[in-house]
């Protein structure tokens, strides 16, 4: 049953995350994602088959990237950051709403377990995507502080980001295998505990 709960949570969390990217891009003047059918809450438009399978195999996965045209934006650096942060923020809002439901509504066990899984995955996606390495959303936030004179290096960093994140994950797994300590695990656990306390206090 745990795999079923996780599959439902993936469908919800990734759909909300990617649709939020697409909706904000459209609102900021870029119709690329809307024309591709990504301003939608249909999970089939956002789930990536391989990315979903990898969640179960390697505990690391992804959805289909939302396309957007940098040059359709009036303020490219700022608007790119807004499009990027829309995904993680949507996951945080989802977690907040679920926290309210769990706290104030008596639920059958199966619905409680599904909502709890969505809640946990929402916070994990929020935290993980804030890491400032491409293709994660946090890399776009760096554009707000990188000076224009460093644009070439910033774009090079973005293009090489997927290689960096894979190397970091492999390195983290090797360290964890030897020492039992995971940098990513510690960060996610710390952030999860802090965020959970904040959400519970807010409700």
Percent of the chain scoring above 70 in pLDDT:
97
Q: Which two tokens stand for residue 152?
A: 């070439």
CA distance 127 to 28: 24
- Average pLDDT score over the chain: 89
Q: Does residue 113 have an active-site annotation?
A: no
Q: 18, 113, 151, 193: which is the annotated catalytic residue? A: 18
Confidence of residue 58 (pLDDT cuts 50, 70, 90): low
Render pLDDT for 163-175 as a digit per residue (tens, 0 to 9): 888 888 889 889 9
pLDDT at 55 (0 to 100)? 72
Q: Which two tokens stand for residue 23?
A: 């909706």
Lowest average pLDDT, out of 4-18, 56-70, 76-90, 182-196, goes to 56-70
CB 100 within 8 A of CB 62: no
Average pLDDT rounded to a whole number, residues 1-22? 92
Cα distances (Å, whole numbers) of residue 35 to 62, 68, 132: 22, 10, 28
Average pLDDT rounded to a whole number, residues 66-79? 91
CA distance 189 to 197: 12
Q: Domain boundaries in the chain?
A: 2-202
Cα distances (Å, whole numbers) of residue 139 to 25, 53, 56, 159: 17, 25, 26, 11
pLDDT at 90 (0 to 100)? 97
Average pLDDT rounded to a whole number, residues 144-169? 87
CA distance 65 to 18: 7
Render pLDDT for 133-149 as a digit per residue (tens, 0 to 9): 988 999 999 988 888 88
CA distance 156 to 168: 18
Q: Is the pLDDT of residue 200 over 80?
A: no
Predicted TM-score (pTM) of the model is 0.90
Average pLDDT rounded to a whole number, residues 106-123? 94
CB 2 within 8 A of CB 39: no
């Amino acid at each position: 049953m745990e795999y079923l709960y996780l599959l439902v949570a993936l469908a919800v969390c990734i759909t909300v995350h990617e649709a939020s990217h697409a909706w904000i891009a459209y609102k900021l003047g870029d119709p690329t994602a809307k024309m591709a059918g990504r301003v939608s809450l249909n999970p089939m438009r956002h789930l990536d088959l391989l990315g979903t399978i990898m969640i179960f195999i390697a505990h690391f996965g992804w959805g289909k990237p939302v396309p957007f045209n940098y040059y359709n934006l009036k303020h490219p650096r700022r608007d790119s950051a807004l499009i990027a942060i829309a995904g993680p923020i949507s996951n945080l809002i989802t977690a907040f709403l679920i926290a309210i439901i769990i706290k104030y509504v008596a639920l059958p066990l199966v619905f409680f377990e599904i909502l709890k899984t969505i809640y946990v995955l929402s916070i994990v996606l929020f935290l993980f995507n804030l890491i400032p390495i491409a293709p994660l959303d946090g890399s776009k936030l760096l554009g707000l502080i990188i000076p224009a004179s460093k644009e070439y290096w910033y774009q090079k960093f973005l293009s090489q980001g997927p290689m960096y994140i894979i190397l970091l994950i492999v390195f983290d797994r090797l360290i964890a295998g030897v020492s039992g300590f995971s940098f990513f695990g510690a960060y996610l656990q710390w952030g999860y505990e802090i965020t959970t306390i904040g959400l519970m206090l807010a409700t």
